[in-house]
Amino acid sequence: MPSGRKGKVAAGTNLLEAARELGVELESICGGRQTCGKCQVIIEQGSFSKHGIVSQPEHISAPTPLEQEYDREHSLQGRRLACAAEILDDLLVTVPEESQAHKQVIAKAATERVIEVDPAVKQAYVEVQPAKLGDPRGDWERLAQALEEQWQLTALEIDPQTLTTLQTALREGDFAVTVTIWQGKEVLRVQPGYQEGVYGLAVDVGSTTVVAHLCDLRTGEVLATQSAMNPQVRFGEDLMSRISYINSEPQGLTRMNRQIIQTLNQLAEKAAERAGISPGDITDMVVVGNTVMHHILLGIDPAQLGVAPFALATFSEVDMKARDLGLNLNPACRVHTLPLIAGHVGADNVGVMLAESPREHAGISLIVDVGTNAEIILGDQEQVLVASSPTGPAFEGAQITHGQRAAPGAIERVRIDPQTLEPSVKIIGMEDWIETGSPPPGMKATGICGSGIIEAVAELFLAGIINSRGHFLPETAERSARLEIDGTAAAYTLVDAQNSASGSTITITQNDIRAIQLAKAALYAGTKLLMDHRGIQHVDRVILAGAFGTFIDPFHAMVLGLIPDCDLEQVIAVGNAAGDGARLALLNMAQRRKAVQLARSTTYVETPLEKTFQDEFVAALNIPHSDHTFPHLAGLIPEPSLDKPRRRKKSLRSKITADR
Amino acid sequence: MPSGRKGKVAAGTNLLEAARELGVELESICGGRQTCGKCQVIIEQGSFSKHGIVSQPEHISAPTPLEQEYDREHSLQGRRLACAAEILDDLLVTVPEESQAHKQVIAKAATERVIEVDPAVKQAYVEVQPAKLGDPRGDWERLAQALEEQWQLTALEIDPQTLTTLQTALREGDFAVTVTIWQGKEVLRVQPGYQEGVYGLAVDVGSTTVVAHLCDLRTGEVLATQSAMNPQVRFGEDLMSRISYINSEPQGLTRMNRQIIQTLNQLAEKAAERAGISPGDITDMVVVGNTVMHHILLGIDPAQLGVAPFALATFSEVDMKARDLGLNLNPACRVHTLPLIAGHVGADNVGVMLAESPREHAGISLIVDVGTNAEIILGDQEQVLVASSPTGPAFEGAQITHGQRAAPGAIERVRIDPQTLEPSVKIIGMEDWIETGSPPPGMKATGICGSGIIEAVAELFLAGIINSRGHFLPETAERSARLEIDGTAAAYTLVDAQNSASGSTITITQNDIRAIQLAKAALYAGTKLLMDHRGIQHVDRVILAGAFGTFIDPFHAMVLGLIPDCDLEQVIAVGNAAGDGARLALLNMAQRRKAVQLARSTTYVETPLEKTFQDEFVAALNIPHSDHTFPHLAGLIPEPSLDKPRRRKKSLRSKITADR
């Protein structure tokens, strides 16, 4: 139990061997030496007619002296060590979860799911024949023989750097060592005696933020998560400006590469410190990132990604040594980068697919990861399509008059009362909403971040201050002093001078609205392209990935026409799905293979090649859209034909307010 | 011709394809594009009744425009490009040597032999599909496809460092590149356009001298040979003192490792400069060295090699990247170290076996490589045995009163007139022999090197100044003032003060003679052990390997009993056979496999474990030996039973003098 496997074995067989014969994988590090305590099992007692078994205490051998010693030191609480207990007659045995070889972890995602822990690097304890005169073999050959005899590992190699530590480790451990092995192929580490602990790092190198999860590769547990600003930001906020910097500066690539490596070293060091281990204990690493981050990290000039046809150096997964990147982890630590899909669709998107696995969900999933480019994944159990759409940096607060990055002081949420046309905002770093016309409650606003500008434009539309074409309505100016119209220039004062950190008003201008319209139209047009390719009219769920998605209000996103019509309950923000994908690939080898399958089976739709893209883009400029209807917003937004404000259904409005 | 292969092909088949079908490997870098000119063949004309062929000019297609262009630029002198010429009817074709794919080189060794050039790294020219919109694959995937289609290379990988250079090379070469590939598995280098030239380094890291041969891996030619003193000499002349240094100095290993790497970098740079290439053009390297040099080079602490049971870290061949050693060659350059045999029998001995291949010679070969330890190889077509014998450093001039390394000023040869007991010597750096009793001819002696002391002791014995037990004979002192006997202390003045650089006499003391007796007895006892193991009484040839062997006179070596009795014509000095072995393994993959077979099939005899070693050693202390006779010296040396001098046969004596 709980696998339900059943079978006959010779009397006297120990439970560990019996489990292996029946295909039940039990945990074991010491290799059956009754010392590691990983293979504990529960012997059920009584008559189990359902199984046709009478399981009695005398059907199993008495505890061995070694087992008793383990019990005294660690308390077995009635359990038995499977490697010590011999089967004498019928038994019903339960394998507790912690003794199962392939532990399972729950993957956080739009839908929680369980994955097995089956990492690339694993430990094995071995006892090696000591060196002796007359045996000319080297220590490595004796270790390899022990690994073959005790762990059935053949054709092993040893990293040349690890070879330099072998002789000392063997002698310190009195010829008993714990070996860390990569994919059953290469010895990465040799530690004296019996040691527990094998660790890996899952890293998402974002354009703005770098996140590292330090994982225990035996339990799947995340021991520490550290994040830092990508230091390349100083060379350019968006990808194109970083490529330009590299094109123009002779040392640009080296500089950016060194900085990101340095950041990864710092993250690893901090994470290790928090987990109480050393960076040298880290023997595996999985990295995701967009194509430009991926190339710069590997020391590849991203110049080709800046010009058509956007040629990647490689779109395959890359396996290498961490030391070749200058990473200060274990000297033999491995690095695996997830595969890429196309010039603008990177390993981060493959990570997102791995985490959200559209192929494993009924119905059509739309996954949107918004950055400077928006990557759009549309998939179901049959097919997955992906496109990249040039939204520009408006969604990140760039090219917006008072735009800024999401940081303390930035306006992240906006409401405009449709009656009074008075705004209230929520500022990052403050709990309460602020009525921006009232005296300051302590913290002043510094600008508007991406989610703030999206809500602001949607609220301006909902309040009837702008029409579906995004134009300020002159008649509204008569109702509120916040709206000033001066020819083509027009602006809505979101924050009064008294509530602004700079002492000047924070406004939303006609140009800001236009910038958001261009960005959202690009995103919608990309989505529409994929829907047309797939021949579908609606999606069943929308997943907003990335930090941006976390702060976006699904209702406002849909009001703006950023995402297609969908049940609002099925619009889900999943946070750093790319990083979650990296973690899955770190914990489970099958996930790495799946990543390759996903990357290679995904249909990439090149937006610039699509003739209809421009038409779709133009049609998507209106709020929410010129042609498409949004049944799930029925009654909640002004009719497209009307430019007059209309009150939303009270019920949903109050629901959303209550959600705050 | 000259292979004699014969067959039928469809009319219109080009000669390159036809050659392949018939199993004749023609050289080609461009892959049949009529541009590299490597596949030139000669079309014979006339009726060849022996072959049953009438080969007429009209039986072959006319030169193509591309072929004509090649002819104008490079002059084909009537030859045809096999890839351009189509077979229309019967032909007799000669493949000139330079067009044969597996060129052959002559291996310098005791017996010259021919080996094929079939290195680990090879070049291939490919034309790659340019990147285009709608093809999301990376440049690497397109290159891999081209290599598969044009060169049938599958499952290729690319070094991550090489990947960083790929995109630029492809675009500079307009998507035509020359690729350097290791073992058909890994791309090491991508150069724009069509390029010729692939280079490797064969290195022998000796305790005293480091030698590097830079080879052209297409022709097998040695382009430059550079040597340098091993900088580790400053930390200790012999291996044990280097191990002691590392044991006692915390940074000792790192320091010695860095110094040898630095020396290798300098040798590579100088050799490349002499050959007119850059160190970055070197993509393969084979290294041999004794076990201690091997371990220090790989960064492995040799401590275990200093104490029983003399455990190696590994005795297998090691394949790694040169960059992991800190070598400044091509960033993806490979390094291969030949396998080791046992704690005291290293890759240098495997190199010697490869170069001298005792398995391929009729009769019993004895190969002796003398350093601080003497490595002794005894083999024939059936079996190869090896032992290491602790000769100590006496043969290298250490522990000898006036001993020194072989350097200008050192006495390297000695003759003593059996009548007058007057010596004459040859000094390194001077052409002529010196009568040391006469006024100085310009250069003065600084000391005695290894070959000098061996000749001196043998000559003292031949002149009857010492007896077969190595003792100075008091009665001789009456005949010459050069011999002074003062109780147990006794010495023979080899160089008078006026001919000595220090101004003091250079003498051979009783202790010096004893040191040489101990060393030669250890060597002979080791040899005898192997002969006993093999069950043989005599050897058919003796090969003296290493720099030491080159300067030793076979006659004197045999008079001393350093080597067993053998036809003097069959005692051959081969110089740096270890380095030659490294060169063979660099030029030919089969030689690397053979090295592994040799290392693993050689029987290692552990001298300290052999009970008879001590007895053999004691018996071998006498000159030439207490028990064994030397039929080939019959009449040339004093009877062992007599302590009186006896004149050698005039004929041989004058023959030897003539050889000088």
Contact B113, B103 (CB under 8 A): no
- Cα B262 from Cα B364, distance rounded (Å): 41
Q: Does B140 touch chain A (CB under 8 A)?
A: yes
Judged by average pLDDT, the poorest of A55-64, A340-349, B479-488 is: B479-488
Quickly state the pLDDT bin for B500 (edges 50, 70, 90). confident
pLDDT tens digit sequence for A425-465 = 998 888 888 887 776 667 788 889 888 999 999 999 999 99
pLDDT tens digit sequence for B337-382 = 999 999 999 999 999 999 998 988 899 999 998 876 789 999 999 9
Quickly state the pLDDT bin for A658 (edges 50, 70, 90). very low
Question: Chain B residue closest to A345 (CA)?
Answer: B136
Q: Does A313 touch chain B (CB under 8 A)?
A: yes
Contact A588, A115 (CB under 8 A): yes
- Which tokens is B237 given? 């002349």
Nearest Cβ partner for B141 among A160, A315, A343? A315
Q: Does A135 touch chain B (CB under 8 A)?
A: yes
Q: Does A343 touch chain B (CB under 8 A)?
A: yes
Single-letter residue type at B200: G
pLDDT tens digit sequence for A167-185 = 999 999 999 999 999 999 9
Q: Does B406 touch chain A (CB under 8 A)?
A: no
Question: Chain A residue closest to B320 (CA)?
Answer: A160
Task: Give CA angle at A387 (A383, A390), nearest 5°.
Answer: 165
Sign of CA dihedral B82, B83, B86, B87: positive
Q: Does A301 touch chain B (CB under 8 A)?
A: yes
pLDDT at A399 over 80: no
Contact across the interface for A133 and B299, Cβ inside 8 Å: no
Nearest Cβ partner for B133 among A299, A301, A608? A608
What is the average pLDDT across A369-391?
A: 89
Name which of A312, A319, A349, A607 to mutate to probe chain B: the one with the most chain B Cβ atoms within 10 A of its Cβ.
Answer: A312
Write down the pLDDT at residue A173. 97
Alpha-carbon distances of B527 from A450, B134, B324, B455, rounded to whole Å: 84, 72, 39, 21
- Which tokens is B554 given? 């076979």
**Mind telling me how many Å the CA of A160 is from chain B's nearest CA?**
7
CA A283 distance to own-chain centroid: 20
Q: Which secondary-structure segment (H or E) carries A415?
A: strand A410-416
List chain B residues with CB under 8 Å of A140: 313-314, 316
Q: Does B424 touch chain A (CB under 8 A)?
A: no
Q: Does A136 touch chain B (CB under 8 A)?
A: yes
> What residues 155-174 of chain A have any CB closer than 8 A to a CB of chain B?
158, 160-161, 163-164, 166-168
Contact A428, A472 (CB under 8 A): no
pLDDT at B22 over 90: no
**Mind telling me how many Å the CA of A604 is from chain B's nearest CA?**
8
Q: Does B177 touch chain A (CB under 8 A)?
A: no
**Mind telling me how many Å the CA of B596 is from chain A's nearest CA?**
13
Those residues whose C-beta lies under 8 Å from the C-beta of residue B659, and which sit 6 or more positions away, are none
Contact across the interface for A133 and B606, Cβ inside 8 Å: yes
Contact across the interface for A164 and B136, Cβ inside 8 Å: no
Q: Does A342 touch chain B (CB under 8 A)?
A: yes
Write down the pLDDT at residue A30. 79
Percent of chain B with pLDDT over 90: 60
Write down the pLDDT at residue A108. 54
Contact B519, B394 (CB under 8 A): yes
Q: What 8-state DSSP symbol labels residue A476?
A: H
- Which tokens is B83 given? 């890839």
- Which tokens is A65 given? 């002296």
Question: Chain A residue closest to B337 (CA)?
Answer: A160
- Cα A464 from Cα A467, distance rounded (Å): 6
Contact across the interface for A138 and B318, Cβ inside 8 Å: no
Contact across the interface for B311 and A608, Cβ inside 8 Å: no
Q: Does B318 touch chain A (CB under 8 A)?
A: yes
Contact B289, B206 (CB under 8 A): yes
Judged by average pLDDT, the poorest of A137-151, A386-400, A533-547, B532-546 is: A386-400
Q: Does B133 touch chain A (CB under 8 A)?
A: yes
Q: Is the ipTM of this complex over 0.85?
A: no
Q: Does B136 touch chain A (CB under 8 A)?
A: yes
- Cα B284 from Cα A120, distance rounded (Å): 30
Q: Give the 3-state secondary structure of residue B287.
A: strand
Q: Does A104 touch chain B (CB under 8 A)?
A: no
Contact across the interface for A137 and B312, Cβ inside 8 Å: yes
List chain A residues with CB under 8 Å of B303: 167
Residue with the larger pLDDT of the pair B558 and A108: B558
Cβ-based contacts under 8 A for chains A and B: 138
List chain A residues with CB under 8 Å of B301: 164, 167-168
- Cα A201 from Cα A327, distance rounded (Å): 12
Quickly state the pLDDT bin for B106 (edges 50, 70, 90). low
- Residue A420 CB neighbours (<10 A): 12
List chain A residues with CB under 8 Å of B305: none
> What residues 523-582 of chain A have any CB closer than 8 A to a CB of chain B?
none
Percent of chain A with pLDDT over 70: 94
Contact across the interface for A141 and B314, Cβ inside 8 Å: yes
Alpha-carbon distances of A527 from A343, A388, B272, rounded to whole Å: 18, 9, 58
- Residue B450 CB neighbours (<10 A): 28
Name which of B145, B164, B334, B609 to mutate to probe chain A: the one with the most chain A Cβ atoms within 10 A of its Cβ.
Answer: B164
Write down the pLDDT at residue B528. 93
Q: Does A596 touch chain B (CB under 8 A)?
A: no
- Cα A203 from Cα A223, distance rounded (Å): 14
List chain B residues with CB under 8 Å of A132: 309
- Which tokens is B80 given? 């045809």
Quickly state the pLDDT bin for A111 (edges 50, 70, 90). low
Nearest Cβ partner for B163 among A135, A298, A311? A298
List chain B residues with CB under 8 Å of A158: 314
Where is mean pLDDT largest: A400-404, B57-61, B323-327? Answer: B323-327
Q: Does B308 touch chain A (CB under 8 A)?
A: yes
Contact B264, B212 (CB under 8 A): yes
Contact across the interface for A138 and B606, Cβ inside 8 Å: no
Question: Chain B residue closest to A131 (CA)?
Answer: B311
- Count Cβ atoms within 10 A of the Cβ of residue A453 and give its class: 0-12 exposed, 13-18 middle, 19 or more buried: buried
Question: Please, what is the angle between helix A139-151 and helix A160-172, to 10°?
Answer: 80
Question: Please, what is the angle between helix B139-151 and helix B160-172, to 10°?
Answer: 80
Quickly state the pLDDT bin for B110 (edges 50, 70, 90). low
**Mind telling me how many Å the CA of B609 is from chain A's nearest CA?**
8
Alpha-carbon distances of A17 from A56, A116, A397, A528, rounded to whole Å: 20, 22, 61, 57
- Which tokens is A379 given? 């998939």
pLDDT at A131 over 50: yes
pLDDT tens digit sequence for B179-207 = 999 999 999 999 999 999 999 999 999 88
Single-letter residue type at B530: L
Nearest Cβ partner for A140 among B133, B313, B320? B313
Nearest Cα to A557, choosing from A644, A450, A634? A450
Start-end of H helices in A249-313: 252-275, 291-297
Task: Give CA angle at A543 (A541, A549), nearest 5°.
Answer: 145
Write down the pLDDT at residue B111. 58
- Which tokens is B426 given? 């040859």
- Which tokens is A51 given? 């199984």
Name which of A137, A314, A334, A613 to mutate to probe chain B: the one with the most chain B Cβ atoms within 10 A of its Cβ.
Answer: A314
Q: Does A306 touch chain B (CB under 8 A)?
A: no
Quickly state the pLDDT bin for B639 (edges 50, 70, 90). low
pLDDT tens digit sequence for A121-130 = 999 999 999 9
Question: Chain B residue closest to A610 (CA)?
Answer: B134
- Cα A45 from Cα A182, distance rounded (Å): 40
- Does the pTM surpass 0.90? The reply is no
Contact across the interface for B324 and A141, Cβ inside 8 Å: no
- Cα B67 from Cα B84, distance rounded (Å): 7
Question: Please, what is the angle between helix B450-462 and helix B510-534, to 10°?
Answer: 90
Q: Which secondary-structure segment (H or E) carries A213?
A: strand A209-216
- Count Cβ atoms within 10 A of the Cβ of residue B601 and give its class: 0-12 exposed, 13-18 middle, 19 or more buried: exposed
